[in-house]
Amino acid sequence: MTLEELRASFADENHPANKNPDRLDFFRELCQESRRIEMELNSAYHTPEQIVEIMSRLTHRAVDPTFRLFPPFTADFGKNIVFGKNVFVNAGCRFQDQGGITIGDGVLIGHNVVLATATHDLAPSKSRKLHYKPIVIGDNAWIGSNAVILQGVTVGEWAVVAAGAVVTRDVEPYTVVGGVPAKFIRRVDNDTEDGSPVDYTAGHI
């Protein structure tokens, strides 16, 4: 079994890879690899450049040099996350990424944010069964501290998720949402419509 087949199996419950007898062992092996890499990340000081290298190993993808993250950070799987350019992830975030997490360019993620792509079956006899749907965070969105974004949610570009919100459905571009469950609060004025560039170096730590 390949990593690409395993990723595909989370996206489609009928994917042939789900019947592969080696699937569970391969998945567990990759999860243990993630634990080791996360312990390395979270147990010592690393330069920003070293963190980019560690996160590239964790995700099995090239992470852009503009990426910034403050540890600690944990991911259940670690191999189904895609980071764009100029992304900042603050300390304490937890990603349950089996279903796939895509984070666009310029995204800001506050302290202790949870992105959860999995949910359990409600039927008592099937409560151990997991179902997966991807999370997509559009370019330049801002996710406030302690927010929780649940499976299947797309957050539109330049949207703002208020601190402590629990997001259960899609967030339209250029909107602010907050609360439990998250609801529309207001629109975001687009001051880039005149072609003004976004300064990604401002506040870049």
The one catalytic residue among 46, 120, 131, 204? 120
Among residues 32, 71, 76, which one has the least CA distance to residue 52?
71
The CATH number covering residue 28 comes to: 2.160.10.10
Q: Is residue 80 part of a domain?
A: yes
Q: What is the DSSP letter of 143?
A: E
Mean pLDDT of 9-33: 90
Neighbouring-strand partners of residue 187 = 175
Owning domain of residue 159: 3-187
**CB contact set of 35 (below 8 Å; sequence gap of 6+):** none
Which pairing describes strands 183-187 and 114-116: parallel, antiparallel, or unpaired? unpaired
Q: Is residue 203 part of a domain?
A: no
Catalytic, 131? Answer no
Is residue 194 in a domain?
Answer: no
Q: How many domains in the chain? A: 1
Q: Is 192 within the bounds of a domain?
A: no
Q: By C-alpha distance, which of 188, 130, 177 is closest to 155?
A: 177
Per-residue pLDDT tens digits for 68-92 = 999 999 999 999 999 999 999 999 9
Which pLDDT tens digit goes with each residue over 130-145? 889 999 999 999 999 9
**Percentage, residues of the chain above pLDDT 70:** 95
- Residue 193 lies inside a defined structural domain of this protein: no
Q: pTM for the whole thing? A: 0.91
pLDDT band at 12 (very low <50, low <70, confident <90, very high): confident
Runs of H (alpha helix) within 12-113: 23-42, 48-59
